[in-house]
Amino acid sequence: MEIGKRLKEFRKKKKIKMPAIAAATGISKENLYKWEKGTKPSDFGLYNKLVEYLNEMENVPDQVSEDPKLNGNRKTRSSAAAFLTGIFLAQDEEPLLLFDNNIAPGNIVTISEQPVLITARIEAPVIGDVDGVIPVTGDSMEPKFRSGNWIAIKKLRFTKILNAGFFYYIVDKNLKGIIRRVRPGGENNSIILSAENANDYPETTRKMDDILAIFSIEAVIFK
């Protein structure tokens, strides 16, 4: 099969945007669009990079999920995603597909001088459109969110629109991410973060200016 047709079918099947493929392969999106439309690659090295990428990604298995509902939270049983996604925290860029299995989901790394949250990619129609999944760590949110489980998250584009009493995954400018129940703070432009295990983790107030990104929690996933 010609590389352009193969690329087009791959993108359609996996629902991956071209900028993400460009970031993963190091090939400009302009070249990728040209190849997809039928132009033959003139750089054999770049051609081989794309072939290698497609060979690896086409064999990634899709996820199989279930959707039992409990206490208003959607939960699904599924294996961890087969590859990783990098979510830019400080700006709204296209997510990056990552292949370095040495980076664990939930970590925050620097890519192109920008902080990026590493998530495991998952395709689960019952959950809907999410940025990825990350593991729950620590006991601050037990029993609602137990360590070892995973949460499916989606980055909010408008962080001033929050639902009081809902749970969110919040990353501050120290690049620390936590799950907390949120409600408006007494100070202007601030929010109060509450843990479920309130005896050991007192609630705190954060100014919105000190927060880098906020993610909605779309589902809890049992590993």
Domain residue limits, the chain: 3-57, 69-222
**Residue position matching structure tokens 């830019």:** 88
Residues in the chain: 223
Helix axis angle, 18-25 to 44-57, nearest 10°? 110
The pLDDT tens digits of the residues spanning 7-22 come to: 999 888 877 878 778 7
Q: Give the list of residues 6+ apart from residue 169 with CB closer than 8 angstroms, or none.
A: 134, 151, 153, 177, 178, 179, 214, 215, 216, 217
Q: Read off the pLDDT band of 223 (50, 70, 90).
A: low
Quickly count: other Cβ atoms within 10 Å of residue 10's Cβ: 17
* Bridge-based pairing state of the strands 150-155 and 132-135: antiparallel
92: tokens are 């709204």
Q: How far is CA 197 from CA 20, 50, 136, 201, 210, in A?
A: 39, 48, 14, 6, 24
Is 3.90.1150.10 the CATH number for 69-222?
Answer: no
Q: How far is CA 195 from CA 18, 127, 145, 207, in A?
A: 39, 24, 10, 17
126: tokens are 């019952």
Judge whether residue 196 has pLDDT over 80. Answer: yes
> What pLDDT is recorded for position 35?
95
Q: Kindly state the average pLDDT of the residues 82-90.
A: 83
Q: What is the pTM (predicted TM-score) of this model?
A: 0.65
49: tokens are 């990079």
Q: Which of 34-38, 99-103, 151-155 has the lowest mean pLDDT?
A: 99-103
Radius of gyration of the chain (CA): 19
> What pLDDT is recorded for position 101?
60
Q: Give the list of residues 6+ apart from residue 110 with CB closer than 8 angstroms, or none.
A: 116
Residue environment code for 62-100, b if the CB has 16+ CB neighbours within 10 A, otherwise e: ebebeeeeeeeebbbebebbbbbbbbbbeeebbbbbbee
Judge whether residue 63 has pLDDT over 60. Answer: no
